[in-house]
A and B are shown apart, each in its own frame.
Chain A
């Protein structure tokens, strides 16, 4: 493979210094973290740099980490793919737990439009500058963000089902 992880890392660190960090090869995907404030510049650079050419946004989704410190409770994950060299990378941007917001990349990748709407719908992440940030899969009247960990999957008042008999507690299921 022509495009080496170290080359990507060097190029990014050279341009963005402390905004890109925690580089690691995670199984088969090279992944790193970015400073959420600078996400558009970094992703645009990855897309347009003549050597990196990460021109395809494979996937964008959110993750909730309620046990993390307050400024790292949400993450937005970008999977980028360079088809010329067949190289994938994963980028994580951690966001504040109380006011999760990040700039939109829908003007860089058209496909991010609905992916960001989906992330907003499920996690309540505010994508600044998004052209139409409203719910997509859930109904408009919904007030909560169902993929957050605190959102219960079942009606808490249910009495016909006792999971304790199966070794399950609130913590391990």
Chain B
């Protein structure tokens, strides 16, 4: 049977031929994916199975590869944000802001405090939605559908806030060089306040449903555990690493956008298993809520929402029609003819899944000479075969969703 699925030169075919069990049973091949209903995204894994146990796995990725790095080499800087949206589409604002901050580092632009705080708020909202999706889907994969349905409406609420800020919902393309494209409306703050009132209640209830749930604990404790050393060797960052007990967080190690002004904890786990990853994400949601509240409290007076950088920041539309200067700036920015220094920049931000890095090389022209995205999902997904070795097939599904591998970020 297995010979039909694999070419004879495949290493699994060889293993199956050489190894037969004493009771006469034989090893088998299971093709999980690319489009399997239990994997959220397009992942293919060829599994070598002994009955229900996984002996080895061979992942194939790249099914939604869109050559973002190549496209970015042919686009002016402001047109690259939509590409970053589509990497980790569960938390696109973090990617957007990371990209703007990379450019601001390149151009030495100081962003006003108020705009930085607004960015912090929107990035933490994005982190909440990211963790919310991951944890509730993990619930679904263990058979608990109601938690998912219960908290998912709050993702909708966050998307309404995004909509109020930038007009888009999923792929937000939010912000500009130096800040935001417009000030946040009173409605946005109103929605935010409602969210801050309603969401903690639901999240507490969600936690109660899972954290001490016998079935959930049985399905997740000691499933897909990874040691801290292994996790670091595999380049883990973000909640998956913190679940293994390493308190590395870019927001603290290299604060950006005024994260140093806020007081928050970095939750860590112990064993790095699926349950710890779940708990770390849960705890991070609480920290994110606290950061948002602090940012709202400390928000500087006034209505500054962008830096004063006419070379890079689009002028108001009325001025473009009536004012020569503005028209010139508008034209130059839209055509991508902005002055850019020759430099190499690496800027990391803490994304939903770990350190998202933007390695940008400019040669003074209208487009990047080279832009490389450090995508946490791509980096830690290579540990997946090792993590599922010896596990059951149903555990493999749970481990995949607890790692929160987002296909868009995996394949770029």
Contacts and interface: CB of A to CB of B under 8 A. Distances in A.
Given A137-B62, A137-B65, A166-B335, A55 B232 contact: yes
Interface string A98-115: 000000000001110111
B252 to A, nearest CB: 9
Contact of A59 (B62, B345, B357, B370): B357
B234 interface: yes
Contacts, number: 90
A88 B105 CA distance: 16
Contact of B372 (A59, A113, A173): A59
B62 A136 contact: yes
Interface in B320-368: 335, 337, 343-346, 348, 355, 357, 359, 361, 365-367
B28 interface: no
A19 to B, nearest CB: 21
B259 interface: no
Given A147-B70, A153-B71, A113 B382 contact: yes
Contacts of B370: 63-64
B39 to A, nearest CB: 18
B31 interface: no
Contacts of A110: 230, 233-235, 382-383
A79 interface: yes
Interface string B374-397: 100011011100000000000000
Contacts of A64: 370
A83 B411 contact: no
By size class, the interface of chain B is: 35 or more
A86 interface: yes
A8 interface: no
Interface string B221-256: 000000000101111000000000000100001100
Contacts of B379: 111, 114-115
Interface in A7-39: 26-29, 31
A165 B343 CA distance: 29
B234 A79 contact: no
A26 B67 CA distance: 28
Contact of B359 (A55, A56, A79): A79
A111 B69 contact: no
A91 interface: no
A146 interface: yes
Given A58-B357, A77-B359, A138-B65, A111 B382 contact: yes
Given A61-B372, A63-B361, A77-B359, A153 B343 contact: no
B61 A137 contact: yes
A71 to B, nearest CB: 19
A147 B367 contact: no
Contacts of A57: 235
B268 interface: no
A62 to B, nearest CB: 9
A172 interface: yes
Closest 5 CB pairs of A and B: A111-B235, A137-B62, A61-B372, A137-B65, A110-B233
29 contacts: A26-B344, A27-B345, A31-B344, A59-B346, A59-B357, A59-B359, A63-B361, A63-B370, A77-B359, A79-B357, A79-B359, A79-B374, A88-B346, A109-B235, A110-B234, A110-B383, A111-B233, A111-B379, A114-B379, A135-B62, A138-B62, A146-B70, A147-B70, A153-B71, A153-B74, A166-B335, A167-B337, A172-B366, A173-B366
Interface of A: 26-29, 31, 55-59, 61, 63-64, 77, 79, 83, 86, 88, 90, 109-111, 113-115, 118, 122, 135-139, 146-147, 151, 153, 166-167, 172-173
Given A29-B344, A83-B248, A109-B233, 17 more contacts: A27-B105, A28-B105, A31-B344, A55-B232, A56-B232, A58-B357, A59-B357, A61-B372, A79-B359, A110-B235, A114-B379, A137-B61, A146-B67, A147-B69, A147-B70, A153-B73, A172-B365
